[in-house]
Amino acid sequence: MIKLAVYGKGGIGKSTMTSNLASAFASLGKRVIQIGCDPKADSTINLLGGKPVQPVMDYLREYDREPTQIEEIAKEGFNHILCIETGGPTPGLGCAGRGIITTFQLLKDLKLFETYRPDVVLYDVLGDVVCGGFAAPIREGYAEEVLIVTSGEKMALYAAENIRKAVQNFADRSYAKVRGILLNRRNVENEEEKVHAFAQNAGLPILADIPRSKEILHFEDMGKTVVEGGPKLPVSQKFFALAQRLLEDETNG
């Protein structure tokens, strides 16, 4: 099973990267779960035709009880991708990371992975914080590897380095390790050189180079990923290539 956590600066495009990668895996015949770990609960919306799944924390507040089956807190989207959103506390009250911890415990109690038996699990994690609840996806065997999304922007690279250091600090606890970098281009000056320099200094591969694309925005306006809406487009082929690479690496150990 491939288990990946996607981290990066807030607003850098983690959800776009994650949902398109999920779509590519699913289009290759893999059984996929995507778990959005953000109070905004919008990670999976473009896998669901623009109609969001009810976040776990909202469910708990509305019904004042825990769900008894996965279907109460999950929806199947494009190519049967199982979509789950942790959500967060009532705005201004409580810790957002707590929603992740609560959700993960519920999924464990409901035996999600034993029941669904996925080939791929993707965790789309809030912002550039790797502490408390936001570190949960890389603890206790949930995710085995981390993908860091960055552009060539100064603050995106700053966040990427903080994430790399934080994950490295967990290395002696058998937590997840950084697998590589996803370059999500913003067309800033010397972007390629800046990101390649960061990757080289960090000793990490750039696993995918995603161009700034009007097609991505076009299909997101329709509630779709670009992989679903235009699978033969060059930008979609980038996600297929990334999925294939990760699958081959998993097969080759």
| 128 counts as catalytic | yes
Could you say which of 40, 75, 119, 177 is catalytic? 40
Could you say which of 38, 58, 124, 128 is catalytic? 128
User: Which amino acid type is present at position 87?
Assistant: G
Could you say which of 3, 14, 224, 238 is catalytic? 14
| 58 counts as catalytic | no
For 155, other C-beta atoms within 10 Å of its C-beta total 14
Pairing of strands 75-76, 82-85: antiparallel
Q: What percent of the chain is helix, strand and coil (3-state, nearest 5)?
A: 45, 15, 35
- Sign of the Cα pseudo-torsion (222, 223, 228, 230, in order): positive
Strands (E), the chain: 2-8, 32-37, 75-76, 82-85, 120-125, 145-150, 177-184, 206-210
* DSSP summary character for residue 84: E
For residue 78, the number of C-alpha atoms closer than 13 Å in the C-beta half-sphere is 27
User: Which amino acid type is present at position 48?
Assistant: L
In angstroms, the CA 130 to CA 136 distance is 9
Could you say which of 9, 194, 224, 238 is catalytic? 9
**Residues annotated as catalytic (active site), given as ranges:** 9, 14, 40, 128
